[in-house]
């Protein structure tokens, strides 16, 4: 088995053997409806569910409003919130009622205008304070609510200054411009990320139990005692699942573009080549898990622990990798999904940015080589 | 009967933790994952790389930029002097943000007008972009107010004072770490229970169990109790890490925490056993576990709020036990919530547990006779 194929007849024999072996694996895979279900049905169902379900855009913020003393200014200010489609205004009798609503999770924030609000809006030494109370348990939503309230407030001040002909004194203003996703729609980056998480899962599920099952049933020993080489077994296991996986991946990408309307600014070629690289890495990881575990119970367990949660939390799909501590950032380098998420977000939203694509694609190639080499080694060892 | 049941529970527990490798797989990951995820899962920004494109060179621009370089949120990565470099910097992800100061900025401000500073933000991750933008906005607002105060300008006629309950600095780590308790105990209990019946079926030991005098509900209890023990063990590890390592304030009481955990574990084990009794092979069991776990985690409100989902998906989350437990955990930790305050989160979990265990018992009985 260790000798390299040198003579021509041997090489022909090898090619024929490989073809036959792959055909056998194909028949085995396609006879089992569960792999087709995993490859095609699962990504569609999960992407449908998560594509609609996962969003970071706060909407319908329930704002409990307390106005101690009605006035023209108070009315026009609250009116701005009623017109904004981000807010649902809940008028409250007093601060106590509002605090009760916030505590009972019936309101997301309290906006209070105290009784001297109108008086202090007139030119004077100190500005009129507007009290905003947010529920800090969900810090991210609280920050968004704060930012939206500030936005409404700024708009109101500008409008009020224009109406009264009294210019608004501001020395410096900031003009933000957001590239690639100007309306800041979180789905535009979450959906490419979800495709990466889902495909990590599919790749590992398709292959993680394959070799473990063969060991458990003893058919692996039988296979190893035939003249089939280890790398041929590997190719035979990998190619059918790769074909299936690419089918599922294509469906997911098509759904992202047509159903979820994520703009695709890069080229299809780049997207498919990098997706294929990622899929090989994910399948390789599944094969590695199953050749290490040797039984299906362990393989399943390891697959869930090492694929889904790390891809979900450490890939940069939702949490910004830059903001993690250095040690944790170092851990993210061994997560294949990290590279794919980076590529997909760029190819979808920015275009074919080669400085992003090259390093990440090379990382994927390296990872897949390492995985497959490890699988090959652990299969050889099993023989002894 | 009690002795018989105890013996069965012991046997089931040994089946899970008796083997060295499977004990490792249950004990080690919660430690490691809590450590890594606890630090990784945050929406707070720090060290955001930015570049400066200053066409002004005046004193006001210098002062404004000092506000950015002095902030721990931002880290100056490069100073550029050509417009086309903005594209290179942002496209390559070397910086998340470019601050551009136009040529007449300082003179505008000094002559009593309004200076307009521009920021260009990479929107590939819109949440990060939104946060970076609002941090920048607050630096500029603070600078504006200071400038007006120092130079006798007229401040805006009103100001917003924001107070935040339970989490004054809005640290999102406090939001995620309690959630990890639910996340990891869900994964372990589901995995342990979802494959338990199928494993016995595949190994043939289920038939042996059937010829013993044990009744179906006893067999079920024999599978529930070990899952509970393992779940409580996992949860306790993560709770200890949350309090002593991550320093998340624990404002509630342990009784509420453990009653909540008990209700949750019952529902998770119930779902796991229902999956287990439906599936004939381990592969089906594993597939079922995946199909439950993945949506349960992603649609639990752990990372993205349930309130942001469309109504239909929101209704679907009502059958997700993790959804309730995440609220219980955050309530106990941050809000100091007690049992009566959390009652509306506890009974749905008990209901899910009761329904799924009934399904498991019925299926087990039908397959037995």
User: A29-49: per-residue pLDDT in tens?
Assistant: 777 777 788 888 889 999 998
Do the beta carbons of residue B125 and residue A185 sit within 8 Å? no
C-alpha to C-alpha distances, B288 to B22, B285, B313, nearest whole angstrom: 20, 5, 20
Q: Which residues of B touch A151 (CB under 8 A)?
A: none
Which among B156, B282, B298 has CB closest to A296?
A: B282
Distance from CA of A254 to the nearest CA of B (A): 20
Indicate the average pLDDT of chain B.
Answer: 88
Interchain contact, A320 vs B43, CB within 8 Å: yes
Measure the CA–CA gap between A117 and B206, rounded to whole angstroms. Answer: 74
A52 touches chain B (CB under 8 A): yes
pLDDT tens per residue across span A112-140: 998 888 888 877 767 788 999 999 899 88
Q: Which residues of B touch A356 (CB under 8 A)?
A: 91-93
Predicted pLDDT of residue B50: 94
C-alpha to C-alpha distances, A149 to A4, A55, A131, A134, B308, nearest whole angstrom: 71, 20, 11, 11, 18
Q: Are strands A109-113 and A128-135 parallel, antiparallel or unpaired?
A: antiparallel
3-state secondary structure chain B: CHHHHHHHHHHHHHHHHCCHHHHHHHHHHHHHHHHHHHHHCCCCCCCEEEEEEECCCCHHHHHHHHHHHCCCCEEEEEEECCCHHHHHHHHCCCCCEEEEECCCHHHHHHCCCCEEEEEEEECCCHHHHHHHHHHHHHHHHHHHHHHHHHCCCCCCCEEEEEEEECCCCCCCHHHHHHHHHHHHHHHHHHHHHHCHHHHHHHHCHHHHHHCCCCCHHHHHHHHHHHHHHHHHHHHHHHHHHHHHHCCCCCCCCHHHHHHHHHHHHHHHHHHHHHHHHHCCCHHHHHHHHHHHHHHHHHCCCCCCCHHHCCHHHHHHHHHCHHHHHHHHHHHHHHHCCCHHHHHHHHHHHHHHHHHHHHHHHHHHHHHHC
Provide CB contacts within 8 A for A231, sequence distance 6+.
Answer: A376
Of A21 and A366, the one with more pLDDT: A366
B122 touches chain A (CB under 8 A): yes
A132 touches chain B (CB under 8 A): yes
Predicted pLDDT of residue A9: 56
Query: Which DSSP letter does residue A1 get?
Result: -
Backbone angles phi, psi at B154, to 5 degrees: -95, 120
Q: What is the pTM of this model?
A: 0.88
A156 touches chain B (CB under 8 A): no
Measure the CA–CA gap between A237 and B203, rounded to whole angstroms. Answer: 26
B153 touches chain A (CB under 8 A): yes
Whether complex ipTM tops 0.90: no
CB neighbourhood size of A175 (10 A): 12
CA neighbor of A131 nearest in space, from A63, A193, A216: A63
Return the number of CB contacts < 8 Å for A and B. Answer: 339
Of A260 and A5, the one with more pLDDT: A260
Distance from CA of B197 to the nearest CA of A (A): 12
Of B101 and A7, the one with more pLDDT: B101
Measure the CA–CA gap between A2 and A39, rounded to whole angstroms. Answer: 35
Predicted pLDDT of residue A1: 40
Q: Cα A242 vs. chain centroid, distance in angstroms?
A: 22
Burial of B281: CB neighbours in 10 Å, binned 0-12, 13-18, 19+: middle
Do the beta carbons of residue B278 and residue B288 sit within 8 Å? yes
Q: Which residues of B touch A144 (CB under 8 A)?
A: 130
Q: Using the predicted structure, report yes or no on whether residue A180 has a pLDDT greater than 90.
A: no
Residue corresponding to tokens 């609002």 = B134
A169 touches chain B (CB under 8 A): yes
A3 touches chain B (CB under 8 A): no
C-alpha to C-alpha distances, B243 to B14, B35, B218, B248, nearest whole angstrom: 31, 13, 37, 5
- Helix residue spans in A165-267 (DSSP H): 187-208, 210-217, 219-224, 230-258
Element (H or E) spanning A131, and its range? strand A128-135
* Confidence band for A376, pLDDT divided at 50, 70 and 90: confident
| A130: three-class secondary structure by DSSP | strand
Q: What is the mean pLDDT of residues A288-298?
A: 81
Interchain contact, B299 vs A49, CB within 8 Å: yes
Predicted pLDDT of residue A183: 80
Distance from CA of B1 to the nearest CA of A (A): 31
Domain ranges of chain A: 8-54+185-383, 61-164
Would you state the structure tokens that stand for residue B118, as one six-digit string?
């521009």
Q: Which residues of B touch A325 (CB under 8 A)?
A: 39
Would you state the structure tokens that stand for residue A384, as one six-digit string?
């002894």
List, edge to edge, every strand of the sheet that includes A61-67. A87-92, A61-67, A109-113, A128-135, B158-165
Predicted pLDDT of residue A67: 93
Measure the CA–CA gap between A136 and A102, rounded to whole angstroms. Answer: 11
B137 touches chain A (CB under 8 A): yes
Would you state the structure tokens that stand for residue A262, as one six-digit string?
């994520």
Measure the CA–CA gap between B181 and B237, rounded to whole angstroms. Answer: 9
Q: Which residue of A has its CA nearest to B335?
A: A137
Q: Which residues of B touch A28 (CB under 8 A)?
A: none
B148 touches chain A (CB under 8 A): yes
Would you state the structure tokens that stand for residue B195, as one six-digit string?
């494959």
Interchain contact, B127 vs A355, CB within 8 Å: no
Interchain contact, B157 vs A53, CB within 8 Å: no
Residue corresponding to tokens 């249950």 = B26
Instruction: Name the segment(s) of chain B with CATH classification 3.40.1710.10.
Output: 48-150
Q: Which of residues 224-243 of A touch B (CB under 8 A)?
A: none
Which among A54, A143, A324 has CB closest to B298?
A: A54
Would you state the structure tokens that stand for residue B315, as one six-digit string?
């209704």
Which among A108, A137, A174 has CB closest to B166?
A: A137
CA neighbor of B156 nearest in space, from A146, A116, A157: A157
Strand ranges, E, within A6-127: 61-67, 87-92, 109-113
Interchain contact, A56 vs B284, CB within 8 Å: no
Q: Which residues of B touch A345 (CB under 8 A)?
A: 124-125
Interchain contact, A322 vs B96, CB within 8 Å: yes
Burial of A379: CB neighbours in 10 Å, binned 0-12, 13-18, 19+: buried
Rg over CA atoms, chain B: 28
B334 touches chain A (CB under 8 A): yes
CA neighbor of A365 nearest in space, from A346, A339, A331, A384: A339
| A92: three-class secondary structure by DSSP | strand
| A177: three-class secondary structure by DSSP | strand
Q: Which residue of B has its CA nearest to A299?
A: B286
pLDDT tens per residue across span A55-112: 888 888 999 999 998 888 899 999 999 998 899 999 999 999 999 999 888 899 999 9
pLDDT in tens, chain B (369 residues): 788 888 888 888 887 777 777 788 777 888 888 999 999 998 888 889 999 999 998 899 999 999 999 888 899 999 999 989 999 999 888 999 999 999 999 998 888 888 899 999 998 888 889 889 989 988 998 898 888 888 876 677 788 888 888 888 888 899 999 999 999 999 989 888 887 887 787 777 777 777 777 777 788 888 899 999 999 999 999 999 999 999 999 999 999 999 999 999 999 999 999 998 888 777 788 888 888 999 999 999 998 999 889 999 999 999 999 999 999 999 999 999 999 989 999 999 999 999 999 999 888 776 654
C-alpha to C-alpha distances, A88 to A57, A62, A64, B178, nearest whole angstrom: 15, 5, 9, 29
pLDDT tens per residue across span A319-354: 988 888 899 999 999 999 999 999 999 999 988 989
Backbone angles phi, psi at B251, to 5 degrees: -100, -10
B50 touches chain A (CB under 8 A): no
Q: What is the mean pLDDT of residues A7-17?
A: 68
A130 touches chain B (CB under 8 A): yes
Q: Which of residues 275-314 of A touch B (CB under 8 A)?
A: 296-298, 300-305, 308-309, 312-314
Do the beta carbons of residue B256 and residue B337 sit within 8 Å? yes
Q: Which of residues 165-184 of B touch A (CB under 8 A)?
A: 165-168, 170-172, 174-175, 183
C-alpha to C-alpha distances, A383 to A228, A295, A297, B49, B229, nearest whole angstrom: 13, 16, 21, 52, 39
Distance from CA of B216 to the nearest CA of A (A): 24
Do the beta carbons of residue B96 and residue B132 sit within 8 Å? yes
Element (H or E) spanning A178, and its range? strand A172-179
A355 touches chain B (CB under 8 A): yes
Interchain contact, A171 vs B151, CB within 8 Å: yes
C-alpha to C-alpha distances, A221 to A27, A234, B73, nearest whole angstrom: 20, 14, 57
Q: Which residue of A has its CA nearest to B113?
A: A171
Task: Determine the residue among A55, A174, A201, A348 to mutate to test chain B binding: the one whose Cβ has the most chain B Cβ atoms within 10 Å.
Answer: A174
Do the beta carbons of residue A196 and residue A278 sit within 8 Å? yes
C-alpha to C-alpha distances, B276 to A120, B262, B282, B356, nearest whole angstrom: 67, 20, 9, 11
Measure the CA–CA gap between B109 and B88, rounded to whole angstroms. Answer: 30
Interchain contact, A57 vs B40, CB within 8 Å: no
Predicted pLDDT of residue A11: 65
Rg over CA atoms, chain A: 29
- What fold characterizes domain A61-164? abc type-2 transporter like fold (3.40.1710)
Q: Which residues of A touch B30 (CB under 8 A)?
A: none
Query: Which DSSP letter does residue A175 get?
Result: E
Task: Report how far apart the first and last C-alpha atoms of chain B are (Å, whole number).
Answer: 21
CATH of span B48-150: 3.40.1710.10
* Confidence band for A292, pLDDT divided at 50, 70 and 90: confident
C-alpha to C-alpha distances, B57 to B47, B62, B307, nearest whole angstrom: 25, 7, 47
Which among A189, A309, A332 has CB closest to B125?
A: A189
């Amino acid at each position: 088995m260790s000798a390299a194929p040198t003579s021509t007849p041997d090489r022909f024999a090898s090619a024929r053997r490989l073809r036959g072996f792959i055909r056998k694996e194909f028949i085995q895979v396609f006879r089992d409806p569960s792999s087709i279900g995993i490859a095609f049905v699962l990504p569609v169902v999960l992407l449908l569910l998560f594509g609609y379900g996962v969003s970071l855009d706060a909407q319908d913020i329930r704002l409990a409003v307390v106005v101690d003393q009605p006035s023209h200014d108070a009315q026009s200010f609250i009116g701005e919130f009623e017109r904004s489609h981000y807010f649902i205004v809940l008028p409250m009798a007093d601060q106590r009622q509002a605090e009760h609503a916030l505590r009972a999770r019936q309101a997301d924030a309290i906006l209070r205008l105290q009784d001297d609000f109108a008086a202090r809006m007139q030119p004077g030494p100190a500005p009129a304070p507007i009290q905003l109370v947010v529920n800090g348990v969900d810090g991210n939503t609280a920050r968004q609510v704060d930012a939206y309230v500030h936005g409404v407030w700024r708009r109101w001040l500008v409008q009020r200054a224009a109406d009264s002909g009294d210019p608004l004194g501001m020395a410096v203003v900031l003009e933000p411009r957001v590239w690639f996703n100007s309306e800041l729609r979180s789905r535009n980056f979450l959906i490419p990320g979800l495709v990466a998480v889902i495909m990590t899962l599919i790749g590992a599920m398709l292959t993680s139990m394959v070799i473990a099952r063969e060991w458990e049933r003893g058919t692996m020993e039988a296979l190893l005692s035939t003249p089939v080489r280890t790398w041929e077994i590997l190719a035979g296991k990998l190619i059918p699942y790769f074909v299936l996986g690419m089918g599922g991946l294509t469906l997911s990408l098509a759904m992202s573009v047509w159903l979820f309307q994520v703009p695709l600014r890069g080229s299809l070629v780049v997207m498919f080549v990098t997706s294929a690289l990622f899929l090989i890495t994910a399948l390789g990881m599944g094969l590695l898990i199953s050749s290490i575990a040797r039984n299906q119970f362990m393989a399943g367990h390891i697959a869930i622990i090492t694929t889904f949660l790390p891809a979900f939390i450490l890939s940069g799909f939702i949490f910004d990798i830059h903001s993690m501590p250095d040690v944790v950032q170092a851990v993210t380098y061994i997560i294949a999904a990290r590279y794919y998420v980076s590529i997909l977000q760029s190819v979808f939203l920015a275009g074919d940015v080669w400085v992003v694509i090259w390093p990440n694609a090379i990382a994927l190639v390296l990872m897949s080589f390492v995985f497959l080499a490890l699988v090959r080694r652990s299969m050889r060892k099993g023989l002894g | 009967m009690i002795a018989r049941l105890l013996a069965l529970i012991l046997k089931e527990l040994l089946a899970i933790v008796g083997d060295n490798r499977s004990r490792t797989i249950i004990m080690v990951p919660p430690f490691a994952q809590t450590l890594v995820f606890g630090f990784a899962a945050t929406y707070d920004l720090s060290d955001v790389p930015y570049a400066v494109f200053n066409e002004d060179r005046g004193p006001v621009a210098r002062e404004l930029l000092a506000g950015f370089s002095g902030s721990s949120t931002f880290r100056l990565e490069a100073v550029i002097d050509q417009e086309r470099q903005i594209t290179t910097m942002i496209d390559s992800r070397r910086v998340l943000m470019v601050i551009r100061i136009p040529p007449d900025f300082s003179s505008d401000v000094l002559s009593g007008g309004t200076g307009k500073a521009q920021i260009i933000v990479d929107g590939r991750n819109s949440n990060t972009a939104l946060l970076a933008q609002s941090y920048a906005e607050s630096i500029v607002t603070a600078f504006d107010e200071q400038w007006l105060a120092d130079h006798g300008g007229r401040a805006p006629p009103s100001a917003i004072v924001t107070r935040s309950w339970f989490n004054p600095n809005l640290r999102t780590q406090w939001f995620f770490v309690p959630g990890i308790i639910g996340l990891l105990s869900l994964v372990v209990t589901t995995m342990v229970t979802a494959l338990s019946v199928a494993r016995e079926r595949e190994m043939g030991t289920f038939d042996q169990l059937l010829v013993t005098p044990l009744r179906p509900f006893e067999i079920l209890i024999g599978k529930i109790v070990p899952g509970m023990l393992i779940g409580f063990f996992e949860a306790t590890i993560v709770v200890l890490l949350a309090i002593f390592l991550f320093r998340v304030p624990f404002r509630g009481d342990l009784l509420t925490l453990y009653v909540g955990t008990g209700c949750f574990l019952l529902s998770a084990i119930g779902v796991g056993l229902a999956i287990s009794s439906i599936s004939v092979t381990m592969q089906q069991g594993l597939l079922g576990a995946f199909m439950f776990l993945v949506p349960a985690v992603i649609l639990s409100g752990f990372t993205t709020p349930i309130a942001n989902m469309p109504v239909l998906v929101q209704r679907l989350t009502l059958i997700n036990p993790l959804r309730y437990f995440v609220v219980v955990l955050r309530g106990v930790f941050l809000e100091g919530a007690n049992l009566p305050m959390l009652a509306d989160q506890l009974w749905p979990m008990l209901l899910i547990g009761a329904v799924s265990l009934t399904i498991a018992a019925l299926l087990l009985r039908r397959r037995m006779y």
